[in-house]
Chains A and B, each alone.
Chain A
């Protein structure tokens, strides 16, 4: 993992110190809320429905066991004993007292973390494939470049006041686990015909009010040109992005209105001008950063482990968990373990302080001290020996973290919604809970297979509803919570935006509607088809008919 140097540490320490002074001035009344607001937002401190909320950056979703323990300490000491992992690989604390926030920032700084650039019109926390460095289909580790981008974009003076917030995602694998096509910039590591490393560059993706799938503007960008090219994109956006209309200010609108080709040509022009003056990325610097992400010292292990196989045969609960919560590791004898944060009765992405500590302990013992956060609001133990999976499963079970549902219908992404969020139209969490309860039968979940339900409490789409196979969006109908359903969205390498299936459903009707959709899928599917395959083959019509009757058409 990357470790702060004195520059990083000083920056974070100084910011925490500065914010302590600002909070003191706010508490004394010297600063009004209007004056304080921009200062607190620069430190990830929001004012939500009930209280302040601190959003902590987890760069490219990588956490050490010690950092996880510090998050548990924060949750227990200054919050209400839990935290909430978001679709941006961040963690949010929902209940801090303003007076305690400086202590929280100090506790974060002590483990090389902060809340800088988790708000505001700047380059936000860079996200990445949660399986970075361990996926067996990976070309190169995206965290190296995500870290380089983090350093380049941190307090970048030119890009601190962009027209709107700006999100960059990086992956090193052909299978897209980082939702590249719905980011302002998506970067996919690839090799050219000579074997040189570079990036496919996508721009203009995004969700929210005007969802768009990003377009590839360069199929191969040599790795050494990464920062100058990013700088060129950001410059064109910074110059031409709209500042007069909040809803038209994201880069996707600019790319769309200019046309991707024109936008790409402008970026190329700008890029050539930056050739000599732009931020260089010399090979030795890439090498220096790469050294932080070298693989741990794996053992040479057999690909099959008799004890593991035996337990899988004998213990149905363990076998079920293995079926959904393990992914193939690039090293033989190891597995990637997904830890679901979607238990029945829980809130998607929520985790208690004790559970954080349990995960930290398991990571330390069995996964080289490493943890990842996924954009689906789950956690990952990236390097577990097959022979130790039993012990890890038991450890997770002891902490209530053994839910065997990753990728299934109950592995729901949900934003905080109206229970916590100031901007919400409707609740998300109880809708997720009701659907999870409805589909609690594990045999049924396995029969349904891979199905992603994503729920947002408003059009800002923090719950990624546009790219859910089934997307649910909370809308306000005369003060009542209603839910609009979209079908056919996907955030993987075949990214697509869901289409609205018809009129919205009330809070009490939405679970039944989801069940109708699932039943229609089961009736329509051909052998081996996932929900998304069936939907793409048959279209929305059969779902509309079953949801609304033939008359709706």
Chain B
């Protein structure tokens, strides 16, 4: 699941609804602790507002093991 697959909503209640809809996935252990995050519309799709969510979406910004961060 990528950020590009995400639903974007504008209202708090809609976000709550989205979370509520994950119940089955949570129960089936496909998802752990879902939550809504704030995003903005960027040229290439959605972009999380906070640095934390950007890093969560794209992975660490530093090389680790044999991995290099995405440019």
Contact = CB atoms under 8 A, between A and B. Distances in A.
B3 to A, nearest CB: 14
Given A49-B55, A479-B50, A419 B60 contact: yes
B61 A481 contact: no
- CB-CB nearest 3 A-B residue pairs: A419-B60, A80-B65, A82-B65
A347 B61 contact: no
A386 B29 CA distance: 56
A350 B64 contact: yes
Size class of the contact patch on chain A:
20 to 34
Contact of A33 (B33, B49, B62): B33
A412 to B, nearest CB: 13
A430 B28 contact: no
Contacts, number: 61
A198 to B, nearest CB: 45
Contacts of B56: 49-50
A419 B55 contact: yes
B59 to A, nearest CB: 7
17 contacts: A26-B29, A29-B28, A29-B29, A47-B32, A50-B60, A75-B65, A79-B65, A82-B64, A350-B64, A352-B66, A418-B55, A419-B55, A419-B61, A426-B51, A427-B55, A427-B62, A480-B51
A429 interface: yes
Given A29-B27, A29-B28, A50 B67 contact: no
B52 A49 contact: yes
Nearest to B38: A479
Contacts of A33: 26, 32-33
B62 A429 contact: yes
Nearest to B49: A479
A28 B26 CA distance: 12
Contacts of B61: 419, 427, 430
A419 B62 contact: yes
B67 A80 contact: yes
A170 B27 CA distance: 46
A80 B66 contact: yes
Contacts of B27: 29
Interface string A480-491: 110000000000
B4 interface: no
Contacts of A430: 61-62
A81 B66 contact: yes
A430 B62 CA distance: 7
A420 B60 contact: yes
B52 A424 contact: yes
A347 B63 CA distance: 8
B29 A27 contact: yes
Interface in B24-71: 26-29, 32-33, 49-52, 55-56, 59-67
A345 interface: yes
Contacts of A94: 64
